[in-house]
Amino acid sequence: MPFEPKRVMFEQDALSYPLGRKLFDEFKDRDVEIAMLKSHNKVSGIPGKTPAQAFGEGKNTLVVGIRRTLKFESCKPSAHYQLPLVTGCSGMCTYCYLNTQLGKKPYIRVYVNVDEILEQCSKYIQEREPDITFFEGAATSDPIPVEPYTGSLRRTIEFFGQQPLGRFRFVTKFTDVDGLLGAEHNGHTTIRFSINADSVIQKYEHRTARLAERVAAAKKVMDSGYPIGFIIAPVMLFDNWKAEYEEALQELQRQLASHSSKEIHFEVISHRFTARAKQNINEVFPENDLPMNEEERKYKYGQFGYGKYVYHKEQLADMEEFFRKRLTEIFPNAVIDYVI
């Protein structure tokens, strides 16, 4: 499902880069609003009077700009650094933690100075020699929906294919992976797919691909030789949750049967929320029925100075036992990175 922005905003300096000019030429002939930004750090002109309207209009806005800061953020525990090709996501998942990080109008921003970004990757890799350095391409984004426009993911994948000590990874809920097939990745890029029970996807993961579509895309990238992984998140412990997650795992097994001998990584993350996230979610999705009753959760202080509401210890133990047991039974070569 390609991302079709309603409006595209360009930083003036972005047009001096080949990718910026390419995107301008592509969108100026389409039925979309085009605007030029006077400042790279001030995006104005996105409409929306209510929180829900502002959120929706932000999600329909693409900003084309330059990555000014080439100091990459840490990305523990999954990688050493974030790799900033894209910020934001065109999906509208009710529970998403980015709802509290990207403002009231969470637009999608792509960066056109890809050569400079990859040059910075080289410097970080050299600093850590002879150790391998891992980069995460989806820490604050889902880069797949904009890939048909930018080609930045394929370019990055082929860059890392030539790096003996560099590795790249990203995660997606989308399926437009055809442009990545046949790239010279040399096994240095791991593509992960976020999956969930189909009922959770239908209720809460708006404007994203269905489970079967994601798994079909995963098979494509496995056929193309990529290392692969799955993030099962956020796991919601509703009535009959085991049966529904079992069905999701069986769907995975059916479509990936031809790759049963390959190593597949799994990350399992339970649903959690903060007080701030709950407030924002209820403003944007006033009719939502997300399980956010504090009385049914345990309050846990986090490492970043704020607390979150998590499932109780006994519930988490039951969840972990279920997923560790079924994943190892269904996928003989499963590697379970963590269950939290």
Alpha-helical (H) ranges within 76-190 are: 114-127, 147-150, 152-161
How far, in Å, are 278, 291, 320 from residue 94 at the CA level? 10, 11, 24
The mean of the pLDDT values for the chain is 91
pLDDT score, position 257: 87
Q: Which residue is it, tokens 């031809």?
A: 258
How many residues are listed for the chain in this entry? Answer: 340
pLDDT score, position 305: 61
243 Cβ neighbours under 8 A, 6+ residues apart? none
Residue 203: pLDDT above 70? yes
Identify the sign of the CA torsion 22, 157, 235, 197. Answer: positive
Report d(CA 338, CA 340) in Å as an integer. 6
Calculate ∠ Cα 192-153-147, nearest 5°.
Answer: 95
Helix, coil or strand: residue 7:
strand
Residue 108 tokens, joined: 């999608």
64 Cβ neighbours under 8 A, 6+ residues apart? 8, 9, 10, 11, 14, 20, 23, 24, 109, 110, 112
pLDDT, tens digit (0-9, with 9 covering 90-100), for 2-48: 789 999 999 999 999 999 999 999 998 888 999 999 876 788 888 88
DSSP 297: S
| Range 1-181 classified under CATH 3.40.50.12110 | yes
pLDDT, tens digit (0-9, with 9 covering 90-100), for 117-143: 999 999 999 999 999 999 999 988 999
Report d(CA 228, CA 337) in Å as an integer. 13
Backbone angles phi, psi at 206, to 5 degrees: -70, 145
CB 46 within 8 A of CB 31: no
Residue 92 tokens, joined: 């509208």
pLDDT score, position 304: 58
Calculate ∠ Cα 94-98-104, nearest 5°.
Answer: 85
pLDDT score, position 100: 61
Report d(CA 18, CA 87) in Å as an integer. 20
Identify the sign of the CA torsion 98, 101, 103, 104. Answer: positive
pLDDT, tens digit (0-9, with 9 covering 90-100), for 261-295: 889 999 999 999 988 888 889 988 988 999 999 88
Report d(CA 25, CA 56) in Å as an integer. 26
How far, in Å, are 146, 281, 313 from residue 111 at the CA level? 11, 28, 42
Helix, coil or strand: residue 198:
helix
Alpha-helical (H) ranges within 163-210 are: 198-204
Q: Which residue is it, tokens 């910020």?
A: 87
Paired with 310 in beta bridges are 298
